Structure 1
Amino acid sequence: MNQKILFIISLILASITTILFYLYMDGEKKKEAQLQNVNIVVAAREIPPKTLITQEMVTMKEINRTFLHPKMMRNIQDVVGKYARTAIIQDEPIMSSRLIDPNEVTDHFAYTISEGYRAITLSYNPVMGLAGLVQPGDRVDVVGTYVISNPKEGEPSAKSKIFIQDVQVLSVGTTFFPVEEGGERKQEEVKLETITLEVKPVEAEILTLAEEQGSIRLLLRPVNSQERVNTNGVTSLELLK
């Protein structure tokens, strides 16, 4: 009788030991699995290309370390404030190669334009461009000269006036265009000097009309100057008085 009881007790203890060992191993596997998992940044919704990424557009997701790519972003703060280089679909891991830092943009001009503004490129000569003294980042005023009708005097009169003030120069450059004659390209090229300004949409309309109907010149502003002047302009008839 005692032997049977001891046998039953041994079976019970063996079963308990087996269960405890199983639970222990299962817990170790879960811990190991947790150690192998990492958090990455994924898109919370579809992000169109050239979109400034905000906090609401991204979220964190846990994946197994074996699926981790070196370019996967693992910190939301490293993603927010950057632009999407291409479209990113919902739940897609955010890769560093798919992001553009606005402070380091050198290959795409559109990222340098401020919100609410447009870039407009004008052709210019050394006189208009202050003999090359105007550089990207400078701020300028624009003077336009055009011919107006003067009913009182009975003849047209030229007028110059500052019509746009305190606009930023985005770029100054030279473009060469090949000359073609009779379907054949010649060796010489036509040199075109250009300057690109950052203006409001209504200022772009004014600049376009002024360049088409007359001529324009740039006035270089002092650094950090916020002064704005209000002039009536001057006509050729007033110069003779």
Structure 2
Amino acid sequence: MKKKIFLKIAVCLGCAAMLLALNGILFNLCMKEKLNLVHTYIAAEDIPPRTKITEEYLVSAEIASDYLIDNTYLEKEDIIGKYTEIQGMIPAGSVFYKHMLYEEKDLPDHAQLQLKEGETSFGVQVDVASLGSLTEGERIDMHVGIERRDSTPLTGILIQNARIICIKDHQGLSLSNVKSNGVPYLMELAVQRTDLDLLNLAESVGTLKFFPSSDPYSTEPEASLVYDSDMTRYLQNMKESTSK
């Protein structure tokens, strides 16, 4: 008799447990449908400024669609490999907003990231005509033309094999940025820091012209001052005379 009672109790408890589990499942399904949960990724931890996003920074989550706006990245592939803002940290648990992430080439200080030891960035204002077919990453030779009052104009090479690290439009956007208007305005070159004064002098007294290097994608040597050039000697003499 007692066994039958225990059996009935066990069956009742089992049925109650099944009903509770089923009720929980149905409740979750109803809530999910009501909230319209969307699968996405959030920050697994605080992500510092100017940090490259890797998979370790991501954790999957389901979030109500009402909390996700149009400028939110949902797919992992759209997040990994991008960089956080220069001055903006992404807090743990945050979704990844599009305005918080950059492609490396679109970082405001991207040019500085491309510099090698001993180099600095030298910006030159350009237009479609002066730029020609030159592109980012290419190596160029820099020539200078100077109009002299009492003698013939002087032209010659000053720097050879300088690397173009960025070409920007008037808004400061790289021409490779989809938001750029595609009209060149500023070209940034990687040059030797020791040559910067001479380059500034050349720009102030003459006209800079740029031509593709004979080996435009070589890596060594880079941004070399052409010491045996008449232009280099002329500018060095001018620099020395003005410093006395």
Query: What's the TM-score once normalised by structure 1's chain length?
Result: 0.55
CA distance in 1, matches of 2:233, 2:43: 65
CA distance in 2, matches of 1:125, 1:61: 46
Tell me the equivalent position of 1:218.
210
CA distance in 1, matches of 2:232, 2:200: 23
CA distance in 2, matches of 1:64, 1:215: 58
Tell me the equivalent position of 2:113.
115
Flag the 1:21–1:53 CA change in 2: closer, same or farther, 3 A. same
The reply to whether residue 23 of structure 1 matches residue 17 of structure 2 is: yes
The reply to whether residue 163 of structure 1 matches residue 159 of structure 2 is: yes
Tell me the equivalent position of 1:190.
none
Larger strand share, 1 or 2: 1
Flag the 1:70–1:213 CA change in 2: closer, same or farther, 3 A. closer
Aligned partner letter, 2:83 = Y
Q: Tell me if structure 1 keeps the 8 A contact 2:158–2:231.
A: no
Structural RMSD (CA) = 4.7
Tell me the equivalent position of 1:69.
68
Tell me the equivalent position of 1:202.
193
Q: Tell me if structure 2 keeps the 8 A contact 1:164–1:203.
A: no
CA distance in 2, matches of 1:235, 1:92: 57
Tell me the equivalent position of 2:58.
59
Larger-Rg structure: 1
CA distance in 2, matches of 1:52, 1:172: 23
Deviation of residue 198 (structure 1)?
2.9
Equivalent positions of 1:1-241 (< 5 A) are 5=1, 11-28=5-22, 40-56=40-56, 58-63=57-62, 69=68, 73=73, 76-85=76-85, 86-96=88-98, 98-102=100-104, 105=106, 110=108, 113=111, 115-117=113-115, 119-123=121-125, 129=130, 133-137=132-136, 139-144=139-144, 160-168=156-164, 170-171=166-167, 194-200=185-191, 202=193, 205-206=196-197, 207-212=199-204, 214-221=206-213, 224-226=216-218, 232-234=228-230
CA distance in 1, matches of 2:206, 2:135: 25
Q: Percent identity?
A: 13
Q: Tell me if structure 2 keeps the 8 A contact 1:49–1:84.
A: yes
Query: What's the TM-score once normalised by structure 2's chain length?
Result: 0.54
